[in-house]
Amino acid sequence: MKLLLLLANLISRLQLQSASTNQAIASHPRKNNAPDHTQGRRNGFHLNFSQRMLATGIKSLWMASPELASNISTRYFRRPRRRKVDYALPEGALPITVYHGLRRLIGYRWQGGPKTVLLVHGWESHLGRMLNWVQPLLDAGFSVVAFDGPGHGQSPAQSTDMVDFGNAVQCAIEQHSVTHVVAHSFGAAATSLVLAQAPDLLRQIQRVAFVAPMSNIGEHVDFFSDLIDLNSRQRQDLCGAIQARLPRKLADCNMTEAARHLHLPGLIIHDNTDPVIHMSSSMRTSAVWPLSECEITSGLGHHRILADAHVIERVVDFLWQAAA
């Protein structure tokens, strides 16, 4: 019992320290010559020192109380680290609100043509990552909407998950007359889930483009587990704690299965050097989605692909085919 109390106290102190440095660390990528650590790094993502210590404390706590440790881990799994908001908005940005339950999510609209494209960012990201798309879409005759998802960017801090994030996407589509969607990574998976279970949205949305999409929530769990170095038993405990907080089964949070119900044209673009999500998951998704196309790029990774001019041009051309 004394050990349990000591570990709980340590974790509490580290939580406070981690929270105070969370945003600053998350907004600065690791330099190539920085020292490596087995724990706290995965595919270019990393934890700072206090976060690594927190992960060590949680793992130690697992030996004394697996339930408490898995609950604490689930809290961090569902609580995105907030990145520094330091982007410049393209000219013409009009502030908008996406009402998501009792929350007000922050977003912007650029007024153009009658068709509106929604830009959806990924996990631990923000709308700034999608701003390279705004001007090309405006030039093609679209209006554009982008927002910071639950717990991300300028939106209020909160816990979220793939289902909740997808519900926020649905709110944005319904409240801002969206006709097309471009989504990245975790945001693409969340978008596919909500579109697959909402026939009214499928009638409203004409085309979607998913860039480096996450396949399922299991990939998210594996990513988080590798980051804090959980073993297979601890991962099972974590999955059980996550499931207790989700309104649907973990197995149902699967983009490939959702794609079977996406009766609209879709374009998937994935890079063969993506270190975060392997391109094979996109190929599997496209194989069961009759109206989809899948294109593989090379040398763009998971994040640079969003800024690639050729990728943006290809997606804009694809969306324009429905708007013309």
Per-residue model confidence (pLDDT) at position 21:
39
- Show the DSSP H helices in the chain as ranges: 2-26, 49-64, 66-77, 134-139, 162-175, 186-196, 199-204, 217-228, 232-243, 255-259, 280-287, 309-323
Give the closest residue to 252 by CA, choosing from 276, 224, 217.
Answer: 217
CATH superfamily for 94-217+251-323 is Alpha/Beta hydrolase fold, catalytic domain (3.40.50.1820)
Per-residue model confidence (pLDDT) at position 314:
98
User: What is the model's pTM?
Assistant: 0.86
Per-residue model confidence (pLDDT) at position 88:
93
The C-alpha atoms of residue 277 and residue 295 are separated, in whole angstroms, by: 15
Q: Do residues 220 and 162 lie in contact, with contact meaning Cβ atoms separated by under 8 Å?
A: yes
Q: Do residues 124 and 189 lie in contact, with contact meaning Cβ atoms separated by under 8 Å?
A: no
The C-alpha atoms of residue 138 and residue 281 are separated, in whole angstroms, by: 31
Residues 6+ apart with CB under 8 A from 280: none
Backbone angles phi, psi at 156, to 5 degrees: -60, 140
Return per-residue pLDDT of the chain as tens, 324 residues. 444 444 444 444 444 344 443 433 333 323 333 333 334 444 556 777 888 888 888 988 998 899 999 999 999 999 998 878 888 999 999 999 999 999 999 999 999 999 999 999 999 999 999 999 999 999 999 999 999 999 999 999 999 999 999 999 999 999 999 999 999 999 999 999 999 999 899 999 999 999 999 999 999 999 899 888 899 999 999 999 999 999 999 999 999 999 999 999 999 999 999 999 999 999 999 999 999 999 999 999 999 999 999 999 999 999 998 655
Domain residue limits, the chain: 94-217+251-323
Per-residue model confidence (pLDDT) at position 13:
42
Q: What is the pLDDT of residues 269-284, one digit of tens each?
A: 999 999 999 999 999 9
